[in-house]
Structure 1
Amino acid sequence: MNVIGVPARVNSVMSRSSPAARDAADARPPSAERSSLRQSSLREANLGLVTRTVLAAREPPTRAGVAAATRMTRATAARLVDELVAGGVLDERDPPPVTGRGRPARPLAGGRRIAALGLQVNVTFLAGRVLTLGGEVLAEHTEPGDLRDSDPAAVLARLDALAARLLDRVPGDVRVIGSGLALPGIVAAGSGDLLVAPNLGWSGIRPADHLRRASRAGLPLRVGNEADLAARAAAEVAPGRPGPVLDFIYLSGDVGLGGAAVLDGTVLTGRHGRAGEIGHVCVDPGGPPCRCGSTGCLEQYAGQAALLTAAGLPGDRPLTELTAAVRAADPAARRAIDRAAWALGVALAGAVNILDIPTVLLGGHLAELADLLVPPLREHLNRRVLSARWAAPEVHAPAGTAAPAATGAALVQLADVVDDPARWLPGEK
């Protein structure tokens, strides 16, 4: 006997199926529910498209500009923009002055009411920065100090207090969605534990256990490598807005050296999140011992302390003294610069030959010394890079803010909103 309204063949299959299969069949949403799910998914995708279109624009677009860029109808684009403005993901700016008739269109930009906190520990300073989705810095602070062989609990307690002071300065209508932390060492990608930071003298640290005030009400704390996050800030000049260079090798300089490779705006972190440790590339196996346990590492020639020491200056002196010594034709200072340029050339030429990324961006103390380092470094790269005849390596020291990894740490958190803004709207789960 057949079930009423069901063909015999289908009824026969249903009768022979397992209870689990029948339960799964019963759980399938009816066509109206499936249609509702499809519409919800389409809405979420369109909200993301509108958000990314506005954030990536070089000039703030209007609703009509968003409609044209996304190929939506004006009504659809306007409705989605209204939702995003109401939820704080986007802001409306004041329109430019007009002299003709009609109401001028209001330009759109990333929202000021959503922000993230970025924190950074380096060997010579602590830093924090609160960055909005629109790229505005609401609060920031840098605290200098010598943190070599420091007590991690004490340093992280200072950083947590710094974070709390910054968060207290955030206006009440701003929602801080999370915190990020940049550390100069190897970070376990899954847990956020710091495995080792040789120049700090730290190992086996779980930073989240020490930064309880750095995030509000259990909001997430993400921990990453300092050079990776500084490179992120170079690749993304504001949340969702790519920088002028999308493919580059980034060098982050302080007492030591970190690095990162960026391809199409994405930092290449490797399978375990540990890629980019260019400071510990060996340029001379017979060279001086390094704190990492190896010998002849790049940072023993081009790290800030190594440069100053080679020039006959104390390792904690400002770089202006090294620059002045070179300008005064001091032979030791000149040799220190030339030796650093040689070591950088050896390590970077290897990286360029392997990765085919011929643009190098210098950060930290290397950027401060760019006028002295870049000319000899270019000569070494042109001689050592196999493809230099067809694509000459470029070396730049872009202007930027201090502690760029703090900015990168905030950008990583804000990327969650850029990728899925629907999650952050009122009433959404």
Structure 2
Amino acid sequence: MPSHTIAPGRNVAAGTATTLDAASGTTVRNHNLTMLANTVVTGSRHPSRADLARMTGLNRSTMTRLVEHLISCGIIRELNSESTGSGRPAVPLAPALHTYAAIGVDISTGSVEASAVDLSGEILAQHYQQLNTSNAEKTLTVVRRIIDDLRMRATDAELTTVGITVALHGLIATNHTYLLSSPNLGWHDIDLLEELRKAAPQNMLPQINFLNSADAGAYAETYLRNKQDIPLSDYLYVSGGTGIDAAIVKCGGFDTGCHGWAGELGHVYVAEGRRQCSCGNTGCLETFAGQYALMEASGLAPHSSTGNLFAALSRKEPDACKAVKSAAHYLGIALASFINICDIPTIVLDGLYAQLFEYLDKPLQRMLTEHTLSSQWADIKVLRSVSTSNSVAFGAAWKGLIEFLSTPDRWQKQNDEQLGYFPITDTPSVTI
């Protein structure tokens, strides 16, 4: 099908050209603003205006206008100029500091964690609380209190909150606000947005999005790899814990399936088993390679600290070593099937699996090499996540910032005082 280029780097099908042609120049301008904002905010380097012009093909005058708009809106900032040896010194551009923030919340089994993050990727505030998350109403009341607290602290620090995303395990309806089922939390058929509204009816609740935890973790992984200049455009993100979640990253984007439910790796059938999964079935990967299964097979109490497992492994206790080897075997069965079906040969392990990487790496690599048809020709990689311990909360917040960058109409011009701009040499730290 022929395509028409409407801006550098983006092609659209000919069937949509009429709509775009009929639109004002704002359509192209907004696309270019988003492209430039993403390049500066998510990239590993600090490009100058000339660098951006070469990368995008935009002419100098257009680039100057767009960059000035991004600066005035508090999206990017200028750093100290750098001499290139001849001509005018180049002025590097970087993400703005302390102008906009997004809040990400991670609801997991036994705890709630939240982070407020700005466009530079700086974590401005964090909150961690252990609690029994089996009761949805009580948990969401705590979540609402955390969100309101972080929003208030951001406002006091003169930041604008532009996105709130709550991540949790389970299947979320296509309206992104209704939870169908979360076996690990024990939650079913819950209007998440309505429950958060009920938790504090006297306060207006802004738009809140809900996201699967694995997708949030993959947002963090992709961001950090881009920043460290070790990007991955195609990989399966796998996070091990009480559940086993996965996210499919393809061509730099997310493949979540027809309903947004792709990635339920923990509920893939791998073998006959007697242990019942949290979903009610038997034979699920989670019952062979999940945290509780690992602890029990190691001779430890299922709900005890994973530190006990690491201590047993460091002492090379037979039960613990055998348990991890068995987990790698069953995880390999599921992942080999995934690679054979989807042809994405790179696996990134996070969560408990990242902590166990030195024990899982070799046996898992062997399983994938033996049971993946393409292993003779494709380089199958098993990598440890580069994410931090709060990757899900960070990734949820980062998703909110990415969505904000994709909608330039939401950017508001404010004067320097409102945005909190300071001279380059006198940029204060902000604690909220």
TM-score (norm. length: structure 1): 0.84
- Distance across 1 between alignment mates of 2:225 and 2:354: 21
Q: CA deviation at 1:241?
A: 9.8
* More moved, 52-61 vs 217-226: 52-61
Residues 1:63 and 2:43 are matched in the alignment: no
Separation (CA, whole Å) in 1 of partners of 2:21 and 2:247: 45
Q: Which runs of 5+ in 2 are unaligned?
A: 1-19, 415-432
Matched to 1:63, the amino acid is R
**Corresponding residue of 1:302:** 289
How far residue 239 of structure 1 moved from its aligned partner, in angstroms, is 9.5
Aligned twin of 1:136: 122
What are the Cα deviations for residues 368-410 of structure 1, in whole angstroms up to 9, with x where unaligned? 1111111111111111111111124211112321232222222
User: Which of these residues, 293, 317, 330, is aligned with residue 343 of structure 1?
Assistant: 330
Report what 1:25 is aligned to: none
Structure 2 counterparts to residues 38-187 of structure 1, below 5 A:
38-95=24-81, 104-112=89-97, 113-147=99-133, 150-170=134-154, 171-187=156-172
Conservation of the 8 A alpha-carbon contact between 1:253 and 1:363: yes
Report the alpha carbon displacement of residue 271 of structure 1 after superposing the two structures with TM: 0.6
Q: How many angstroms apart in 2 are the aligned matches of 1:108 and 1:253? A: 38
Greater shift, 154-163 or 337-346, is seen at: 154-163
Do the aligned partners of 2:42 and 2:223 also contact (CA within 8 Å) in 1? no
| 1:362 aligned residue (334, 349, 353) | 349
- The residue type paired with residue 64 of structure 1 is A
Aligned equivalent of 2:391: 404
In the alignment, does 2:334 pair up with 1:334?
Answer: no
Matches within 5 A, 1:197-346: 197-212=182-197, 218-237=205-224, 244-346=231-333
Task: State the distance in 1 between where 2:86 and 2:333 align.
Answer: 64
Question: Per-residue deviation at 1:138?
Answer: 1.4
* CA contact 1:120–1:181 (8 Å) conserved in 2: yes
Which residue identity is paired with 1:41? Answer: T
Compared with structure 1, are the counterparts of its residues 321 and 133 closer, same or farther at alpha carbon in structure 2 (3 Å cutoff)? Answer: same
Measure, in 2, the Cα distance between the counterparts of 1:123 and 1:192.
Answer: 20
5+ long unaligned stretches in structure 1: 1-33
Cα separation, partners in 2 of 1:407 and 1:197, compared to 1, 3 Å: same
Q: Which residue identity lines up with residue 165 of structure 1 in the other structure?
A: D
The alpha-carbon deviation at position 359 of structure 1 amounts to 0.7
Structure 1 residue 288: Cα displacement: 1.9
The amino acid that maps onto 1:365 is L
The one-letter code of the counterpart of 2:187 is W
**Which whole-Å deviations, capped at 9, do the CAs of 1:118-177 have from their partners, x for residues lacking one?**
111011321111112222221112223453xx2111111112222233223325431111
Equivalent residue of 2:269, what SS? coil
Write the distance in 2 (CA, Å) between the matches of 1:64 and 1:329: 57
Which residue is 2:381 aligned to?
394
Q: 1:325 to 1:57 in 2, by over 3 A?
A: closer
Kept in 1, the 8 Å contact 2:176–2:209? The answer is no
Secondary structure, counterpart of 1:140 in structure 2 = strand
C-alpha distance after superposition, 1:182-211 (max 9, x if no partner): 011111121421111111111111221233
Offset of residue 84 of structure 1: 1.2
Q: Distance in 1 between matches of 2:274 and 2:236?
A: 24
Kindly name which structure, 1 or 2, has the bigger radius of gyration based on alpha carbons.
1
Distance 1:287 1:194 in 2: 28
Aligned residues of 2:225 and 2:386 also touching (Cα < 8 A): no
From 189, 213, 228, give the equivalent of 2:174. 189
Per the alignment, residue 365 of structure 2 pairs with: 378
Does structure 2 conserve the Cα–Cα contact (< 8 Å) formed by 1:298 and 1:344? yes
Q: Distance in 2 between matches of 1:413 and 1:175?
A: 13
**More off after superposition, 60-69 vs 378-387:** 60-69
Distance 1:191-1:54 versus aligned 2 partners, 3 A rule: closer
Q: Which of 237-246 and 347-356 deviates more?
A: 237-246
Q: Which amino acid aligns with 1:376?
A: P
- Segment drifting more, 180-189 vs 414-423: 414-423
User: Matched residue of 2:370: which SS?
Assistant: helix
Distance in 2 between residues matched to 1:151 and 1:109, nearest whole Å: 43
How much does 1:425 deviate?
Answer: 3.2
| Distance change (3 Å), C-alpha of 1:420 and 1:51 | same
Q: Which amino acid aligns with 1:259?
A: A
Higher relative contact order (CA 8 A, sep 6+): 2
Query: Aligned partners of 2:238 and 2:312: how far apart in 1?
Result: 24
Sequence identity, in percent? 36
